[in-house]
């Protein structure tokens, strides 16, 4: 289980979320050019119902841990806002431009956007909001529902550390859709003879 609200150690939060992100990196093969979406309820981390007790100091600790791993692996991060901003995402403008995302106009604050998005926005060198994305992987801290921002097909991933503070943590990475039927091949076959078959 998570830690009790009154004994949450901010340094532990940074270390614990960094552990989750690094573990996911290995499975999702996150690196330069890849995009990770983060959904986080700082209320849930603190042990209260989502949307009722946002805390910027908790968001700051989470951001610090995520950023430590991001700098090491070189992937990009998108931070999901709450439903008051229609779950738009905080990204760097270079990410928005590279992926040709649709920009929307707002500045996330704790009461409209959420503490995590507000902190991420302040830390970006050139912050902006994207309407939607298709991320390569995602981490959901506190059951905020990030599935709408993942590429198809999402593969659920259960990190070793299941809680950060009091918040349950789930994750996912994505893979290309497998297409075709019973004759479809998903890896280049070794050719042992001249007969490789044809498609009529």
Tokens (6 digits) for 91: 């990204």
Q: How far is CA 152 from CA 63, 93, 137, 148, 176, in A?
A: 26, 24, 10, 10, 7
Closest CA to 130 of 187, 81, 166: 81
Give me the pLDDT at residue 15, please.
96
Give me the pLDDT at residue 9, please.
80
Give me the pLDDT at residue 60, please.
97
The structure's pTM equals 0.87
Segment 137-153 shows an average pLDDT of 96
Q: How far is CA 55 from CA 61, 77, 114, 149, 170, in A?
A: 10, 20, 9, 24, 21
Give me the pLDDT at residue 182, please.
79
Measured distance CA(78)–CA(91) in Å, rounded: 5
Segment 104-130 shows an average pLDDT of 97
**DSSP symbol at 74:** -
Give me the pLDDT at residue 192, please.
62
Residue 169 confidence (pLDDT) above 90: yes
Model confidence band, residue 140 (pLDDT cutoffs 50, 70, 90): very high
Give me the pLDDT at residue 4, please.
41
Tokens (6 digits) for 107: 């500045």
Closest CA to 1 of 58, 54, 44, 61: 44
């Amino acid at each position: 289980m998570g830690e009790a609200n009154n004994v949450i150690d901010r340094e532990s939060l940074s270390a614990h979320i960094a552990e989750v992100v690094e573990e996911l990196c290995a499975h999702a093969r996150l690196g330069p050019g890849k995009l990770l979406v983060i959904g986080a309820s700082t209320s849930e981390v603190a042990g209260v119902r989502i949307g009722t007790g946002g805390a910027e100091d908790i968001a700051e600790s989470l951001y610090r841990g995520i950023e430590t791993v991001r700098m090491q692996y070189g992937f990009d991060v998108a931070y999901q806002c709450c439903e008051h901003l229609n779950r738009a995402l905080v990204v760097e403008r270079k990410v928005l431009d590279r992926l040709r995302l649709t920009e929307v106009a707002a500045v996330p604050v704790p009461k409209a956007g959420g503490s995590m998005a507000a902190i991420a926005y302040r830390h970006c060198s050139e912050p902006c909001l994207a309407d939607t994305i298709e991320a390569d992987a995602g981490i959901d801290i506190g059951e905020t529902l990030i599935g709408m921002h993942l590429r198809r097909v999402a593969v659920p991933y259960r990190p070793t550390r299941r809680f950060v503070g009091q918040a349950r943590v789930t994750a996912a990475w994505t893979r290309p859709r497998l297409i075709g039927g019973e004759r479809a091949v998903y890896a280049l076959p070794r050719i042992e003879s001249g007969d490789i078959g044809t498609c009529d």
